[in-house]
């Protein structure tokens, strides 16, 4: 009786996800083991060629470049985000919420438009080049756009709010008691930070970093709009296989490599969270 009522509530949602998430992902998983058809379709012949091709130097280079860009963006977001999150968590309770809302507000507007803003800022006639020339710092405009720098800037800009949010929830859970106890026992501010705050907020750091890394490495829009033509990332590569090269099996294999990376990182995070629970039940 109770069970059937629960089933009625669960069925539409779980059904939807099964039909439009599980089955489609299953399909591309299966596709990734087939050969590409001559006219862009799929020949149902089993092969591991798609996965072998993924580690071909040509693609491996793109793959490693994606990892490097995503890692750099993650590191910068962390360095930018930690002091900000820490400072917000130190404020009086009623001031924390407005400060956080201000951090998250840009996320609520369109990602494309926010990326576009950086084209306006960074291009050769853009605001930053104009400013620098007007100030006499440089004579000829710098190439700030269509390179890794622009992509990393765009990724940090897009995802630093998530980093701050993840760090904030970890730091604010700590409360002032532990810090004060450490100071009371004779540790200075810097040592208190290194010995108490930093280790205890490690799960928050991990959560924020994994979040930013996963969103960055799978990103399509930012490298597409801010990166140069040769500087494709994993997301663009998958996009290309589906919409231009019409090699769906290979695109599917790349997508699964992306999912595998993500799963690996998320289980690492789950492990960290479990460890934290054991430390502080």
Partner 1 sequence: MRADPVKTWLTAHLGLVYLFLYGPIVVLVVLSFNASGLPTAWTGFSTDWYAKLIQNEAILASVRNSLIVAFSSTAISTVIGTLLAMGLEEGRPSGALEALVTAPMIIPDIVLAIALLSFYTLLHMTLGLHSIILSHAVFNIAFVCTVVRTRFKHFDRSIIEASIDLGAGEFTTFRRVTLPVIAPGVIAAALLSFTLSIDEFIIAYFTAGAGRASTTFPMQIYSMIRFGVTPEINAAATIVMGVSFMLVFLSQRLSREVE
Residues forming a β-bridge with 46? 34
Residues in the chain, overall count: 281
**Which listed residue (95, 109, 178, 198) binds partner 1 by CB under 8 A?**
109
Residues forming a β-bridge with 34? 46
204, 86 in Cβ contact below 8 A?
A: no
Q: Find the shortest distance in angstroms from Cβ 112 to partner 1.
A: 5
* Residue 224: C-alpha distances to residues 112, 146, 153 (Å): 11, 9, 13
73, 212 in Cβ contact below 8 A?
A: yes
Q: Which stretch binds partner 1 (CB under 8 A): 67-75, 200-208, 255-263, 272-280?
A: 255-263
* Residue 35: its H or E element: strand 34-36
Q: How many CB atoms lie within 10 A of CB 93?
A: 7
**Which listed residue (75, 132, 187, 221) binds partner 1 by CB under 8 A?**
221
The label of the residue with tokens 């040769």 reads 230
According to the binding rule CB under 8 A, does residue 112 interact with partner 1?
yes
According to the binding rule CB under 8 A, does residue 83 interact with partner 1?
yes
**Which listed residue (102, 178, 198, 260) binds partner 1 by CB under 8 A?**
102
According to the binding rule CB under 8 A, does residue 133 interact with partner 1?
no
* Residue 253: C-alpha distances to residues 199, 260, 264, 270 (Å): 38, 10, 17, 25
Q: Find the shortest distance in angstroms from Cβ 46 to partner 1.
A: 17
According to the binding rule CB under 8 A, does residue 271 interact with partner 1?
no
Q: Which stretch binds partner 1 (CB under 8 A): 59-67, 78-86, 201-209, 272-280?
A: 78-86
Q: Find the shortest distance in angstroms from Cβ 121 to partner 1.
A: 6
# of chain residues touching partner 1 (CB under 8 A): 80
The encoded tokens of residue 179 equal 């810090």
**Which listed residue (65, 88, 100, 151) binds partner 1 by CB under 8 A?**
88
**Which listed residue (35, 51, 59, 106) binds partner 1 by CB under 8 A?**
106
According to the binding rule CB under 8 A, does residue 111 interact with partner 1?
yes
**Which listed residue (5, 93, 94, 229) binds partner 1 by CB under 8 A?**
5
**Which listed residue (45, 105, 178, 273) binds partner 1 by CB under 8 A?**
105
**Which listed residue (34, 118, 146, 159) binds partner 1 by CB under 8 A?**
118
**Which listed residue (52, 68, 130, 275) binds partner 1 by CB under 8 A?**
130
Closest to 206 (Cα-Cα) out of 268, 278, 280, 275: 268
Q: Tell me how far apart the alpha carbons of residues 12 and 75 are, in angstroms, rounded to a whole number.
A: 41
According to the binding rule CB under 8 A, does residue 202 interact with partner 1?
no
Q: Tell me how far apart the alpha carbons of residues 264 and 271 are, in angstroms, rounded to a whole number.
A: 11
Within 55-74, the residues that bind partner 1 by CB under 8 A are none
* Residue 45: its H or E element: strand 42-46
């Amino acid at each position: 009786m109770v069970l059937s009522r629960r089933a009625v509530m669960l069925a539409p949602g779980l059904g939807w996800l099964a039909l439009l998430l599980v089955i489609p992902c299953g399909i591309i998983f299966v596709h990734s083991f087939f050969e590409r058809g001559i006219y862009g379709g799929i020949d149902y012949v089993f092969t591991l060629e798609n996965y072998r091709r993924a580690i071909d130097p040509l693609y491996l280079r793109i793959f490693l470049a994606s990892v490097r860009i995503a890692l750099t963006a993650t590191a910068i977001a962390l360095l930018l985000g930690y002091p900000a999150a820490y400072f917000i968590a130190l404020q009086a309770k009623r001031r924390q919420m407005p400060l956080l809302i201000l951090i998250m507000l840009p996320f609520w507007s369109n990602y494309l438009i926010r990326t576009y803003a950086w084209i306006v800022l960074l291009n050769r006639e853009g605001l930053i080049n104009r400013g620098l020339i007007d100030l006499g710092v440089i004579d000829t405009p710098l190439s700030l756009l269509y390179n890794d720098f622009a992509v990393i800037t765009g990724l940090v800009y897009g995802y630093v709010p998530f980093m701050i949010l993840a760090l904030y929830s970890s730091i604010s859970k700590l409360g002032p008691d532990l810090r004060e106890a450490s100071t009371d026992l004779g540790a200075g501010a810097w040592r208190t930070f290194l010995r108490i705050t930093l280790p205890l907020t490690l799960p928050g750091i991990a959560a924020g970093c994994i979040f930013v890394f996963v969103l960055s490495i799978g990103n399509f829009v930012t490298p597409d709009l801010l990166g140069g033509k040769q500087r494709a990332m994993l997301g663009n590569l998958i996009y290309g296989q589906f919409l231009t090269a019409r090699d769906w099996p290979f695109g599917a294999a790349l997508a699964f490599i992306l999912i595998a990376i993500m799963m690996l990182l998320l289980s690492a995070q789950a492990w960290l969270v479990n460890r934290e629970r054991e430390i502080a039940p």
